A and B are shown apart, each in its own frame.
Chain A
Amino acid sequence: MTDKSHDPHQMTGAAMIVRALIDHGVQHIFGYPGGAVLPIYDEIFQQSEVEHILVRHEQGAGHAAEGYARSTGKPGVVLVTSGPGATNMVTPLTDALMDSIPLVCITGQVPTHLIGNDAFQECDTVGITRPCTKHNWLVRDVNDLAKVLHEAFYVATTGRPGPVVVDVPKDVQFALGTYHPPRKSDVHVSYTPRVKGDAAQIRKAVALLAAAKRPVIYSGGGVVNSGPEASKLLRELVDVTGFPITSTLMGLGAYPATGKNWLGMLGMHGTYEANMTMHGCDVMLCVGARFDDRITGRTDAFSPGSKKIHIDIDPSSINKNIRVDVPIIGDAGNVLGDLLQVFRAEAKKPDIKSWWQEIATWRARNSLAYKKSNDVILPQYAIQKLFEATRGHDTYITTEVGQHQMWAAQFFGFEEPHRWMTSGGLGTMGYGLPAALGVQVAHPDSLVIDIAGDASVQMTMQEMATAVQFELPIKIFILNNQYMGMVRQWQQLLHGNRLSHSYSEALPDFVKLADAFGCVGIQAIKPGDLDGALKEMIKVKRPVLFDCRVAALENCFPMIPSGKAHNEMLLPAEATDEATAAAFAGGKALV
């Protein structure tokens, strides 16, 4: 008989969790303790391989893990307690599901014999998180725990990445069981994501691309998710074909903003040239994007004359909103590699000179123009100044959600992938500040800036204490217009300028608030203040709240108005009150 007490694989469930994290190369986790996870926190206390970042609210842990994941390509890991700990994670889990971010969230649960009993801090975590995770598990037997944890990491990071939840009752954390390192048989045999694209479909796609007269490449977050190699291949494809390229909000940085074929972002607040190119193209190559409603505008008038090729790892993205001609299921990087190989072997760079000439006329409309001022800081100007001031630094940008997010996407140029963290699908105000924490944890020496709005930033403001505690020198650059700017813009454009509850009354003094948190407060009021203030912000190696006072009533243009197509954009120069009223005529909004 073997002596079980000396078997190194015998351990408690709590110890298994920490061991599994180490076996998966996890160095940082974000979390908040509570009754149902105390055994795990006890294990964390007694080791030094995994560093725990204590947040101030579980939502902050979730977004921090998202920022960590998006800036590294590794899964973000969260540890929270049962009941409210788990329900506070619902927003980040949904956010990660929408934006395909790999998260592994471990939740404590009340002991198995109390499940279903309305016990203290009990909730049906797997029930609540079922629709907002890629998959989730409740572990009732400690001997299943190792297998489930390994599968959780595998599911979160393979195929279309996404969040997973492992719910572990407290008695399972205490129980002794057998641990095993990760192995292939840990995963459901029914889960087989497809990585390699179908060769015949790729050939069809190349034939279309080679014969194109008015092509466009439309790339998305899937290219970023696929890893740095995919972005490299995308750049090669643009070079080899000479095609114009635009990208979704999530895909910024996969192709450099200084690249000569770059059209800027597309969609509701995209550039005129990007949207017109999409509208007029004859062949569209969509890589790792999903024809979201912010991208397409009116679907029955979306790029009416084009043949569409769609590369996506998720078969359910194909033909969901827009019917495509050549679907290719597979990983963006893998398919791009094969596509390039076939293109090089069988096709020549098509002559699209006249198409580029047409695009040049759209570019000449200068759709991002705005009126500069010497008296007030225009938000667009502030982003441009921020961009200039950060050049040469190793910079990562996160954002909250609203006008500032769109201006950041329009005016901050991204040269590399994994540098831009924003809540695209769910549109979560309060995402950027904790996401910046996660990015800074992963990249301690880099310059991490949250471009924020005065309303969004107050949603997760408590995490400044986390930044101070862990000496994470994040910079919160607040475009403070004293409004929920995007809400106010829609109310102006769609609701007769009745500004219902969109004014940020009783705003805190952000400089004093910074002081109260023990970080640095900086304010800029006049355009002339910006250069010096930004320099100071970048120089100081502590967390900063930067209160940038901007023009209160500036609107975000260009814009595709309601129910309109890509070729019916409203440009800033044309957005007079009459033109705007006409473009938005038709009555009250339903949303």
Chain B
Amino acid sequence: MNQPASAYFLEERHDPNETHTLSVLVQNEPGVLARVIGLFSGRGYNIDSLTVSETESHKHLSRITIVTTGTPTVIEQIKHQLDRMIPVYRVVDMTITGRSIERELAMVKVRGRGDSRVEALRLADAFRARVIDATTESFVFEITGNSSKISQFIDLMRPLGLVEVSRTGVAAIGRGPEGM
């Protein structure tokens, strides 16, 4: 194959992509989320999901959970690039440690009457989704679980009158007695 003449090496890599969940403990200060997001956009990394909230307010600590996709080399780079940021305390790859729990919460609005309304309620029950708002022609369900369970629930609601969905993105934590 003839590569176009260029001073850059234009090799295409075909390593398979992997999806990893990273927990990032940061100092909660102005701009810290912008730094993290800017790193991903600036270096061309993917963000599949990102959640952030202050977790220890007296220490001004926030925890960011990022689900990202890339080749093993890129995933390694992402972790190093995050770790060298000044306000970042720790980066833990929840996928590599393999002992983590991931959960996401979604609120799902479904509109309908008659059979489809009954069907929606029955499926919600099977998925252990709770009704948190109801009118005579609609429900809002709250569902918690891993992302694939939530996606499956949403797919099932679609033909039954799905109006809209709000998802939190993934939060993750390690199993066992130790902290990150």
Determine the distance from Cα of A296 to Cα of B26 in the docked complex, in whole angstroms.
Answer: 35
CB distance A589 to B4 under 8 Å? yes
Determine the distance from Cα of A450 to Cα of B26 in the docked complex, in whole angstroms.
Answer: 44
Is B84 on the interface with A (CB-CB < 8 A)?
Answer: yes
| Interface size range of chain B in the complex | 20 to 34
Is A506 on the interface with B (CB-CB < 8 A)?
Answer: no
Main secondary structure of the interface of A (DSSP, over half): loop
Is A494 on the interface with B (CB-CB < 8 A)?
Answer: yes
Determine the distance from Cα of A302 to Cα of B9 in the docked complex, in whole angstroms.
Answer: 11
Of B28-36, B140-148, B159-167, which binds chain A?
B28-36
Q: What residue in chain B is nearest A560 (Cβ atoms)?
A: B7
| Interface size range of chain A in the complex | 35 or more
Is A315 on the interface with B (CB-CB < 8 A)?
Answer: yes
Interface residues of A in 541-583 (CB under 8 A from B): 561-563
Q: Which of B11, B30, B80, B81 has the most CB of A within 10 A?
A: B80
CB distance A130 to B38 under 8 Å? yes
Q: What residue in chain B is nearest A314 (Cβ atoms)?
A: B84
Q: Which of B7, B30, B35 contacts A562 (CB 8 A)?
A: B7
Please indicate the chain B residues that have their CB under 8 angstroms from the CB of A189 in the complex. Answer: 89
CB distance B80 to A316 under 8 Å? yes
Please indicate the chain B residues that have their CB under 8 angstroms from the CB of A494 in the complex. Answer: 5-7
Q: A134-B86, A190-B87, A190-B88 are in contact. Are A589 and B7 (CB under 8 A)?
A: yes
Is B77 on the interface with A (CB-CB < 8 A)?
Answer: yes
CB distance A591 to B84 under 8 Å? no
Please indicate the chain A residues that have their CB under 8 angstroms from the CB of B135 in the complex. Answer: none
CB distance from B15 to the nearest CB of A (A): 12
Q: Which of B6, B42, B86 contacts A591 (CB 8 A)?
A: B6
Please indicate the chain B residues that have their CB under 8 angstroms from the CB of A191 in the complex. Answer: 86
CB distance A586 to B5 under 8 Å? yes
Determine the distance from Cα of A135 to Cα of B80 in the docked complex, in whole angstroms.
Answer: 16
Please indicate the chain A residues that have their CB under 8 angstroms from the CB of B30 in the complex. Answer: 138
CB distance from A480 to the nearest CB of B (A): 24
Determine the distance from Cα of A130 to Cα of B29 in the docked complex, in whole angstroms.
Answer: 14
Bitwise interface map of A from 308 to 324 toward B, beta carbon under 8 Å scored 1, else 0: 00000011101110010
Is B73 on the interface with A (CB-CB < 8 A)?
Answer: yes
Please indicate the chain B residues that have their CB under 8 angstroms from the CB of A561 in the complex. Answer: 5
- Contacts A563-B3, A588-B5 supplied; 7 other A-B pairs, CB < 8 Å: A190-B88, A316-B80, A316-B81, A316-B84, A318-B80, A590-B8, A590-B10
18 A-B residue contacts at CB 8 Å? A131-B38, A188-B86, A188-B87, A190-B27, A190-B88, A268-B7, A298-B11, A299-B11, A314-B80, A315-B83, A490-B7, A562-B3, A563-B5, A563-B6, A586-B3, A588-B4, A590-B8, A591-B6
